[in-house]
Each structure stands twice: as structure tokens, then as C-alpha cells.
Amino acid sequence: MKISAANVDGFRQALLSWYDGHRRALPWRAGRGLTPDPYHVWLSEIMLQQTVVAAVIPYFQKFVEKWPTIHELAAANQNDVMESWAGLGYYARARNLYKCAGVVSQDLKGCFPAEQVELKKLPGIGDYTSAAIMSIAFDKPATVVDGNVERVISRYFAITEPLPDSKPIIRRYAAALSEGRIDRPGDFAQGMMDLGATICTPKSPGCGQCPLKKGCQGYELDIQSELPKRRAKKDKPQKYGYIYWVSNEKGQVLFERRPESGMLGGMLGLPTSTWEADKKDLKHEGVFTKAGFNANKALKIYHSFTHFDLELSGQHADIKDKKSFSGVEWQWIDTKELEKLGLPTLFKKFVRLMLQNNT
């Protein structure tokens, strides 16, 4: 792999000039010429891990409205933060977000470090996020490679090796373009993301309007739409479980606070059994071993996580001894409150299904 200094300069200049006229207006971005707020950059980058911009915007707006500074976020009730995050998925991010806010607010007096190695010591901040914060918040050179950047680089350099094997090659090209003596590193990183999101899009790239057309090898060879190639995905494993609907005479439904570790950790949800790869291993445990179940009201829901698909069989459980539901992990919630409750999508689906069926 060889890319000359002149090519690097040409690439950077073309991208920055395009960015000046076409940057996306996003709520976490500082206006032109203004200094970005590291709290906004960090918050948005954590939310954007595994999640598309359109889904993140309302969550970002809700968070900064509720907690305008990192000190206010650190002082918030953790359950309130988890519920505000509900629906965005990957809940370990929310737990780490809250932990990180505590460390930055208390130990670092509210200031994010401006060095990548220090940023990576904070909860929830890895290679990608530290590089993004370094470049966007502090305007320092760093190699920022998200899915958009992977696509632009794969096409520009006509990298035909499939992902994820091609990641080290893409990273080397990205480093050559974004490190060293570079003008406006933050704008360069955001320009690459914006180009990938708006012009060099996954299907039908708009090469006609692309500032990088001259020099793009994928375009020259007319293979841009086939890139980046991906290794064939294996089928996702399937898991099964029970989800319980327990109501009381006051018209309330039983919820549990899930343990901190594990899937959907720390979130409020309807009680479930363990999730098994084989249906034969399914069993009712704990307080549900003695429950009665109304088979006529059994309803199934399906949910897809990144690494597996889940089928939950809804169980309308009749439990005589409501005293078993004591302690901080259990919560009775009025049926009228259910629609506006901050719940992970999996539980929202089941709540809707049960409400539609007038349960």
C-alpha cells in the first residue's frame, strides 16, 4: 500500500472544501467556527455506537434537555437514566455512560481528557470513540473509522478483500489520510462520515457529485457498488424463553429490575425465564414454579438481537402469594402507565400485544 503525500493532500483538500458546503446539521455539532462541547460529542458518540443517526437524534435531545451538563447527568438517578435510554438498545452503553459521567464529573472536575490514551481509561470508551472525541471535540489528529469511513476507503482504494478481514488494510489507509500534519482534523473526520452517509451511500453511490471522484479507484474500475465486500454471515442462533404477565386486583402489572450483568442489564422489564438454545430446556423458575398459567392467553413475541434471535412465549401467570414479589427488584405498575413507560423494545412489544388483547 502506497499513497503519496500529494495524493493525501489532494484527498484532504477535496473533502474539506466539500464539507464546508455540505456538512450535515446535527444537534450535537457546534456551529461553524464554534468550539464543540466535549459533553455533547461524547454523549452522541456513545449513542451512535451501533445505532443510526436518525434514531439517536431524539434521544440526544432528550438527554441534553434533562441533563444539560455532565455534572447533572452524574447526579441523576441511574434508573432514570436507564429508562430514558430505553428503546435505544445495547444497554451496557447506558450503564457505562452513567459510570463515565460520574468519573468525569467527580474525578476530572467535569473535563474530558484531550488525549486518546486517557480517554480510553474511561468506562465505555474504546478505540473508535476515543478517536472520535479526540478529533471532533479537541480538533486533534486521530484515525476515526466507522461504517461510513470503511465504505468510502474500501471504494476509493478499490479494496476487494471482504470485511472484516480488510479492516487492518482500511485502517492503514485511514491513518495515512487522517494523521500527521493535517488541517482541521475534526472537520476531516466529520467530512468522511458525512460523505459516506450522504454521497458514498451503501446502495447507488452518487459518484457524479462526489468530491473524491477524481482518484477514486472503485469508480474508475466501475466496481464501487460491489464494495465493500463482506464475508458471508452465519445464520443467527435461535433462543427461547418464557415472558410472564402477572396482574393484581388493583389493575397493576408486575415488572422486575433486571440484574446489572447480562442482557438488558439494569433495565426495567417484564419477568422472563432464562433464555435457552433448546426449547426442551425451558422451565419455570423461582416464584413462577408454583404459578398457574392460562394457556388460552399464551402469545408469542419475536425479537432479534445482534447475536441471536429470541422467541418468547408469553405466559399469563396466576400467582396467589403476591408477597413473593418484594424487594427492590420487583415493581407493580399501573396498566394506564404502561404505554409511556421507558422499556426496552422487547418488553414494549409484549406490553402492546397484551394491551391489544385486553389482558
User: How many other CB atoms sit within 10 Å of the CB of residue 338?
Assistant: 18
CB 193, CB 150: distance < 8 Å: no
Shortest separation between residue 11's beta carbon and ligand SF4, angstroms: 10
Decide if residue 219 touches ligand SF4 (CB under 6 A): yes
Candidate segments 56-64, 118-126, 209-217, 344-352, binder of ligand SF4 by CB under 6 A: 209-217
Q: Is 200 in the site for ligand SF4 (CB under 6 A)?
A: yes
Given 210, 246, 319, 338, the residue binding ligand SF4 (CB under 6 A): 210
Q: What CA–CA distance (Å, rounded) separates 188 from 354? A: 49
Q: At 238, which helix (H) or strand (E)?
A: strand 238-245
User: What is the grid cell recorded at 164?
Assistant: 472484516
- With vertex at residue 196, the alpha carbon angle to CA 40 and CA 15, rounded to the nearest 5 degrees, is 85
Q: Which residue has cell 388493583?
A: 250
Q: Which stretch binds ligand SF4 (CB under 6 A): 48-56, 218-226, 277-285, 337-345?
A: 218-226
Q: Which cell numbers hold the place of 92? A: 451496557
213 is a contact residue toward ligand SF4 (CB under 6 A): yes
CB contact at 8 A, 132 and 38: no
Is residue 185 a contact point for ligand SF4 (CB under 6 A)? Answer: no
Does 257 contact ligand SF4 by CB under 6 A? no
Residue from 12, 40, 95, 155 that binds ligand SF4 (CB under 6 A)?
155
Please identify, among the stretches 11-19, 204-212, 259-267, 310-318, the one whose residues bind ligand SF4 according to the rule CB under 6 A. 204-212
Which cell is 306 given?
Answer: 445482534
User: Which segments of 107-216 does DSSP mark as H helices, in order?
Assistant: 116-119, 127-138, 147-156, 167-178, 185-198
218 lies in the binding site for ligand SF4 (CB under 6 A)? yes
Task: Confirm or reject binding of residue 205 to ligand SF4 (CB under 6 A).
Answer: yes
| Interacting residue with ligand SF4 among 19, 42, 138, 156 (CB under 6 A) | 156
Report the C-alpha gap between 196 and 150 in whole angstroms: 9
- Chosen residue from 132, 212, 312, 354 binding ligand SF4 by CB under 6 A: 212
- Pattern 89-128, binding to ligand SF4, x per CB under 6 A? ----------------------------------------
Give the N- to C-terminal CA distance of the chain in Å, as an integer: 63
301 CB-near residues (< 8 Å, 6+ apart):
243, 311, 312, 314, 346, 349, 350, 353
Kindly tell me which of 113 and 205 has the beta carbon lying closer to ligand SF4.
Answer: 205
Q: Is 45 a catalytic residue?
A: yes
Catalytic positions, written as ranges: 45
Q: Which residues of the chain form contacts with ligand SF4 (CB under 6 A)?
A: 152, 155-156, 199-200, 205-207, 210, 212-213, 216, 218-219, 224
